[in-house]
A and B are shown apart, each in its own frame.
Chain A
Amino acid sequence: MSIKVINSGLMTTIQDKGRMGYQASGMQVSGDMDRYSASIANALVGNEGDAPLLECTYMGPELEADEDVLVAVAGGEPKVLVDNKPAHAYESLILHKGQHLKVSSMEEGTRAYIAVDGGIDVPLVMGSHSTNLKLGIGGAEGTKLYNGEVLNTGKPTDLAKAIIAGKSHVRHTDHEYMTHHHLWGENHKGDIHEIRIVLGPQDDYFTPEAIRALNGAVYTISNDSDRMGYRLEGEVIQRATQRDMITDGIVFGSIQVPPNGQPIIMMADHQTTGGYPKVATVISADLPLLAQCSPGSKISFKVISVEEAQDIYVKFRLAMKEQIALMDKEAEDATEEEEAVKAEDAKEMEWPDRRPGVRNYNLKIGGQLFHVSVEEIK
């Protein structure tokens, strides 16, 4: 099976959880910017959490199904259209043969993830399907999607088969799940988003005043921000020493401070090593929210301890697991409920009704015979 790219959108690439295991060779990890939304989109179509899917930015693509296929869109409140009619994000959608799926814009975020049941079928390159634009590897051809491209999809999932055959309910989920569980703040346009950070590894390169000021400091994400890094504009983070540091390793979320004092947060496509001191690191649980912040958004830092950050990390991972488990349960409950109603209907069809207190009659009205059961309701 395949889907055709009618319009590629602004910047759509194939991603998975990233190219792990080669960072010692200088290989960037890449992968989804918002791992949370990507996992949710995959779960909605019955894929494993790290199945290759489409990540789109600002303006998503328009796709055409060549067979009936199950798709789902999650992320920064994307506007979803099926054959130009509004459809739901955070819900599995059956795309019938020839139908078009369009992700037109993001209402309150930057990126959306489009999962297709079975995943996008592209070769593994160094253990990952993720597109690395710099090296031109991964994805379908190491590039972003282009108009007219045909993407093969993997073996359909059992869930997709059942939903398309009408044997199972579509899955849906609550996009504010993490907010309701107080694992991150609400995400509205114009809000100042709180991003929690852990100090280090090189916080000792900066003045104690600068470190104190970091807690609560507000920064604007500059236009010069992409999958490699978010450049921030705001208070200069003052160095305590002009001593150069020796290049060391970088992680997704490292906050580098170049000589001009304006921080840069390293994102999914970051280089593996760097020579600017890193004042702090964004906690893992807040990276998905940060990935949905667009240029012009304001963020404020909150400094927490590494132990707190790990407690939040564990809670976040468990909540995500629970959210995915709930999709199954809700779909099952809905199916059960439907079956119960059907069973009830079937029962009502039985005549004569043998329950105590029920009287059965044969009524002839206008020449037609009716079986009637009468139950007294007290």
Chain B
Amino acid sequence: MDNVRILTAGDCAVSVEFGQEISLEINHKVMALKTVLEGEHIRGIEEMVPTYCSLLIQYDPMELRYGPLCEKLEELVTNLDYVEMPPKQVVEIPVAYGGEYGPDLGEVARAHNISEEEVIRLHCEPEYPIYMLGFVAGFPYLGGMNKAISTPRKESPRLKIEAGSVGIAGEQTGIYSVESPGGWQIIGRTPLKLYDVNCKDPVLLKAGQYIKFKPISKEEFMAIAKEEFRAMENEH
């Protein structure tokens, strides 16, 4: 296949790169190769990390050497168009916009000379593809934001951004999965936990899924947060 490169990442990993741009087409190939390899159960492959345009494959050279692995991968990447992929999954993320949950909503609206309601409408419109997770546990890298609301980062970053905060940084939108410092424009917050070590599945989202934001009121936020807490206690 054109443009596919198998890059060496030390003696225990290779990175299969399908191009150097952020696009759904390329990301689909990454996910397709991951799906194929999961089905092949190749002895020695230990873990795979999909990113925007590459699949990192970690393996144990005691079981599988570089040469044979590359040969196998070269064979597999030629047939990715025929891979049967899991059906499209859209995860709804309820978000309370503005106010204490989204202190920068006003700033974003003013930057584009539109109303706060319009920012919310434009932000809730698309289905955002999750290209990858990284940076910290459960943090999704999303594509597909409307450029009409793209806004530069804050001049000076905040020391603490609550987990669940939904923000805009340039042309990207994202959700903070854990509390951390950061410079994104925070326009809302979801009561869902993207990362919760006490859950059976500690990370809510997966690369390859889509996100749809749904605006909710402050009261709904509280009700869902309470429900999440109760569910967590039950699992314990």
Q: Taking beta carbons and an 8 Å cutoff, which residues of A are in contact with B?
A: 20-28, 125-126, 134-135, 137, 198-202, 243, 245-251, 253-254, 271-273, 278, 281-284, 306-307, 309-310, 312-314, 317
Give the chain A neighbours of B203 by CB distance below 8 A. Answer: 22, 25-27
B133 contacts which of A20, A26, A317 (Cβ < 8 Å)?
Answer: A26
Interface size on B, residues (CB 8 A): 46
The reply to whether B20 and A313 form a contact with Cβ atoms under 8 Å apart is: no
Give the chain B neighbours of A23 by CB distance below 8 A. Answer: 47, 49, 58
The reply to whether B178 and A273 form a contact with Cβ atoms under 8 Å apart is: no
What 10 A-B pairs are tightest by C-beta distance, nearest first? A249-B56, A281-B10, A273-B134, A201-B7, A309-B11, A200-B8, A25-B203, A249-B49, A310-B61, A26-B133
The reply to whether A251 and B134 form a contact with Cβ atoms under 8 Å apart is: no
**27 sampled A-B residue pairs with Cβ under 8 A:** A22-B202, A23-B47, A24-B49, A24-B50, A24-B133, A26-B138, A26-B177, A27-B203, A28-B137, A125-B197, A134-B136, A135-B136, A137-B197, A246-B20, A246-B21, A246-B53, A248-B51, A249-B9, A249-B54, A251-B13, A253-B10, A254-B9, A273-B49, A273-B51, A281-B11, A306-B8, A314-B62
Instruction: Give the distance in Å from the alpha carbon of A312 to the alpha carbon of B65 in the complex.
Output: 12
Give the distance to chain B from A319, nearest Cβ to Cβ, in Å: 13
A248 contacts which of B15, B66, B135, B202 (Cβ < 8 Å)?
Answer: B15
Give the distance to chain B from A282, nearest Cβ to Cβ, in Å: 7
Give the chain A neighbours of B178 by CB distance below 8 A. Answer: 135
Q: Which chain B residues numbered 20 to 36 have a C-beta less than 8 Å away from chain A?
A: 20-22
For A199, give the chain B residue with the smallest CB separation: B8
Give the chain A neighbours of B137 by CB distance below 8 A. Answer: 22, 25-28, 135
Instruction: Give the distance in Å from the alpha carbon of A246 to the alpha carbon of B132 in the complex.
Output: 12
B10 contacts which of A28, A271, A282 (Cβ < 8 Å)?
Answer: A282
Task: Write the B172-203 contact mask toward A (1 if CB under 8 angstroms, else 0).
Answer: 00000110000000000000000101000011
Give the distance to chain B from A22, nearest Cβ to Cβ, in Å: 7
The reply to whether B197 and A249 form a contact with Cβ atoms under 8 Å apart is: no
- Tell me whether A247 and B132 are in contact in the complex, defined as CB-CB below 8 angstroms, given that A26-B138, A201-B7 are known contacts: yes
For A21, give the chain B residue with the smallest CB separation: B47
The reply to whether A24 and B207 form a contact with Cβ atoms under 8 Å apart is: yes
Instruction: Give the distance in Å from the alpha carbon of A149 to the alpha carbon of B40 in the complex.
Output: 47
B213 located at the interface, meaning its Cβ lies under 8 Å from any Cβ of chain A in the complex? no
Interface of B, helix, strand, loop or mixed by DSSP: loop
Give the chain B neighbours of A24 by CB distance below 8 A. Answer: 47-50, 133, 206-207
Total A-B pairs, Cβ < 8 A: 139
The reply to whether A306 and B7 form a contact with Cβ atoms under 8 Å apart is: no
B210 located at the interface, meaning its Cβ lies under 8 Å from any Cβ of chain A in the complex? no
Give the chain B neighbours of A200 by CB distance below 8 A. Answer: 7-9
Give the chain B neighbours of A273 by CB distance below 8 A. Answer: 49, 51, 132, 134-135
Instruction: Give the distance in Å from the alpha carbon of A351 to the alpha carbon of B69 in the complex.
Output: 71
Instruction: Give the distance in Å from the alpha carbon of A283 to the alpha carbon of B177 in the complex.
Output: 33
The reply to whether B11 and A283 form a contact with Cβ atoms under 8 Å apart is: yes
B141 located at the interface, meaning its Cβ lies under 8 Å from any Cβ of chain A in the complex? yes
Instruction: Give the distance in Å from the alpha carbon of A281 to the alpha carbon of B53 in the complex.
Output: 20
Instruction: Give the distance in Å from the alpha carbon of A253 to the alpha carbon of B12 in the complex.
Output: 10
Instruction: Give the distance in Å from the alpha carbon of A125 to the alpha carbon of B195 in the complex.
Output: 13
Apart from the given pairs A25-B133, A273-B51, 6 other A-B contacts in the complex at a CB distance below 8 Å: A22-B203, A26-B139, A248-B53, A253-B10, A272-B49, A313-B62
The reply to whether A26 and B56 form a contact with Cβ atoms under 8 Å apart is: no
Give the chain A neighbours of B51 by CB distance below 8 A. Answer: 246-249, 273
- Of A20, A251, A254, A312, the most chain B CB neighbours within 10 A belong to A251
The reply to whether A251 and B58 form a contact with Cβ atoms under 8 Å apart is: yes
Give the distance to chain A from B177, nearest Cβ to Cβ, in Å: 7
Give the chain B neighbours of A307 by CB distance below 8 A. Answer: 65-67
B228 located at the interface, meaning its Cβ lies under 8 Å from any Cβ of chain A in the complex? no
- Of B10, B178, B206, the most chain A CB neighbours within 10 A belong to B10
